[in-house]
Each structure stands twice: as C-alpha cells, then as structure tokens.
C-alpha cells in the first residue's frame, strides 16, 4: 500500500471515528527505533487499524538527533504527531525546593547511581522523571483527545468496547517491560510483540523500506544509557555530551544542598565523573542496556 492510498483511506475513515462505539487508537511515540518503526508500519498499512494520533512527550532534554528525527518522521505519517510537554526536566530536577516544614527536596529525580559516604559502593536514586514528564502528561492528553469516546463508554455502563487502544513500542526482546493499563478506559497494545519483532528486526524493516535508522530516544543525561550510547553522544553529538557532563556536576551541587543527603549522584555506574569514564564496548564490560528498568515503555523506544 502506498502513502497516497493510506492517506486516502485515512481521510475516508475520518467519519468512522465519530460513529457510535468507535475505538480510538493512539501511539505512544518515544521517537526511537521501536516506536518509530511501529508508526511507519501503520503508515504503510502493515499494522492496522490506522491510529488517529501519535503522542510525543517532550522533556525538552532529548538530543538534537531525536528532534531532527521527529521532523523527518512527521512528514511521512498520515496521522498527526501531537507534541506535549510539562516543561524542562533539567530545570525541574535541579531546582531545590523547601517544604512547609522547612525541609529541602528536589522533584522528578533521575535514576542516578549513588556514591555513599566516600565509598565506591553503588546505590540507586529513585526514578520519578518518567512518570512526571512522560506517563502522566501522555495520559492527560489521551483523556483530552478521546474525551467523547470515554464519556460514551462511561454512559453505557461500560458495556461498549474499551474506547482507547494505546500502542506501545516494546519489542519482543523487551517483553518483560510490558504492563497492563492502570485505567479502565485504556487498553494497552504491543504491536511489535504481536509480530514477534525484536529491535534488530525493526532496524531491518527500516532498512528494507529505505529509511535511515532512528536514534536512541532518551534524555541526554539519562543514567540508563549504555556505554555505546554514551560513546555515540561523546563522539557524534559532543555538544549534547557536554550538556550531560554539566548536568551531572550541577545535580551533585543541587543534592548537596539537601539536608541529610550525603550520597553523591553520578550518571554512570562506575561512579566516576562522566567525562572521565572509559566507554569501552558493552561487551567488554559484560554490560546490558538498562532501559529494561523503565517498565512503562516510554523511554528508549
């Protein structure tokens, strides 16, 4: 099926979206390999039905390669990419606040590695960034876009089909990341798992269609980066790598201002400053990509 045929079919389906019992399909677009492949497969008609929207939650801290990719992708999809943002994650993380009781704290923490009491012993910071800047605002936008269908479903005493199908770009090799929806009017779907597609098969599909490989989608300062991704940022996007180095330094200063916080955050599990880390291959270190710890399927896809 050609793009013109797909767009024509999509246009003819506009009225179908408004019929009673209509179910809205929405892609959670991370902007990386899996979710981009999923969106383009839908554009080609290899995945059906055609989604009504793709939603990208912008933390304002993705590398420039991701933003350039989204511009490229937007021109090739027959459905809109809805961009939303809660603001700048970096600013939120680095802002030290004071509670009514006088206690200092920070919000939307990233899952940094922690060095405690001067010992080279790895701890882990609790992760809040994905929920605050991805999950919650995507769900808010889904409720907005699908409001008529959700109201109709509720007024039917939930006898109609679940009104929202949310497509999530988790591939077969990351099947352990899948989670059911927490909301009764949203059902999760994992099209790549349905097709048995791994991340490498996604890249093969992109290559077969003549498309360039998508970037890894994650904030420049994400501690879940593999050594290969840190090395890529350092060598191919040095300005983005410098942002990560600066963020790590500023994050250490911010957390040092919080009473009772003695642990020092680092972005790499070696507990070394980022610009001093030896980013040899992951295989050399026996390292695995850590986005498996992000179980909502919103980052790294």
Q: Divide the 301 residues of the chain into consecutive groups of 10 and give the mean pLDDT of each group.
A: 36 38 91 97 98 98 97 98 98 93 88 78 83 96 96 92 97 94 97 97 98 94 95 96 98 87 90 95 51 56 75
Beta bridge partners of 32: none
Q: Are strands 113-115 and 264-266 parallel, antiparallel or unpaired?
A: antiparallel
pLDDT of residue 69: 98
3-state secondary structure (DSSP) of residue 114: strand
Alpha-carbon distance of 79 to 7, in angstroms, equals: 8
Closest CA to 232 of 180, 182, 301, 282: 282
Let me know: does 177 contact 159? Beta carbons within 8 Å.
no
Alpha-carbon distance of 1 to 90, in angstroms, equals: 42
pLDDT of residue 54: 98
Task: Identify the DSSP state of 288.
Answer: -
- Is 142 a member of any domain? yes
3-state secondary structure (DSSP) of residue 97: strand
Residue 270 is encoded by which pair of tokens?
A: 């070696």
Alpha-carbon distance of 246 to 28, in angstroms, equals: 30
pLDDT of residue 102: 84
Task: Name the maximum alpha-carbon separation found in the chain.
Answer: 64
Beta bridge partners of 124: 113
Alpha-carbon distance of 218 to 14, in angstroms, equals: 33
- Is 289 a member of any domain? yes
3-state secondary structure (DSSP) of residue 123: strand
Give the global pTM.
0.85
pLDDT of residue 242: 98
End-to-end CA distance of the chain: 25
pLDDT of residue 123: 75
- Is 134 a member of any domain? yes
Looking at the structure of the chain, the number of domains it has is 1
Domain hosting 199: range is: 3-293
Let me know: does 285 contact 227? Beta carbons within 8 Å.
yes
pLDDT of residue 210: 98
Let me know: does 130 contact 298? Beta carbons within 8 Å.
yes
Q: What is the CATH number of the domain that holds 139?
A: 3.40.50.620
- Is 298 a member of any domain? no
Q: How far is CA 280 from its chain centroid?
A: 26
- Is 21 a member of any domain? yes
Residue 98 is encoded by which pair of tokens?
A: 């004071």
pLDDT of residue 297: 56
- Is 228 a member of any domain? yes
């Amino acid at each position: 099926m050609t793009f013109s045929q797909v767009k024509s079919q999509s246009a003819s389906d506009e009225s179908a979206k408004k019929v009673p019992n209509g179910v809205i399909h929405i892609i959670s677009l991370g902007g990386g390999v899996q979710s981009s492949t999923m969106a383009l497969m839908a554009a080609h008609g290899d995945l059906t039905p055609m989604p009504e929207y793709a939603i990208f939650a912008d933390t304002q801290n993705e590398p420039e390669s991701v933003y350039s990719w989204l511009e490229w992708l937007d021109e090739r999809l027959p459905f809109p990419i809805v961009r939303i943002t809660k603001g700048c994650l970096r600013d939120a993380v680095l802002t030290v606040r004071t509670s009514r009781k006088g206690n200092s704290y920070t919000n939307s923490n990233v899952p940094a590695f922690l060095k405690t009491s001067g010992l080279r012993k790895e701890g882990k910071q609790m992760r809040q960034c994905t929920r605050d800047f991805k999950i919650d605002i995507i769900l808010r936008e889904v409720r907005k876009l699908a409001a008529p269908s959700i109201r109709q479903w509720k007024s039917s005493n939930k006898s109609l089909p679940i009104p929202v199908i949310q497509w999530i770009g988790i591939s077969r090799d990351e099947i352990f990341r899948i989670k059911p929806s927490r909301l009764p009017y949203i059902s999760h779907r994992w099209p790549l798992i349905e097709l048995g597609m791994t991340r490498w098969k996604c890249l093969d599909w992109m290559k077969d269609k003549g498309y360039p490989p998508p970037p890894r989608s994650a904030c420049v300062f994400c501690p879940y980066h593999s050594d290969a991704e840190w090395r890529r940022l350092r060598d191919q996007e040095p300005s983005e790598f410098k942002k990560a180095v600066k963020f790590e330094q500023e994050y250490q200063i911010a957390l040092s201002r919080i009473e009772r916080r003695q642990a020092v955050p680092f972005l790499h599990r070696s507990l070394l400053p980022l610009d001093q880390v030896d980013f040899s291959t992951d295989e050399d270190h026996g390292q695995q990509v850590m986005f498996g710890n992000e179980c909502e399927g919103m980052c790294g896809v």
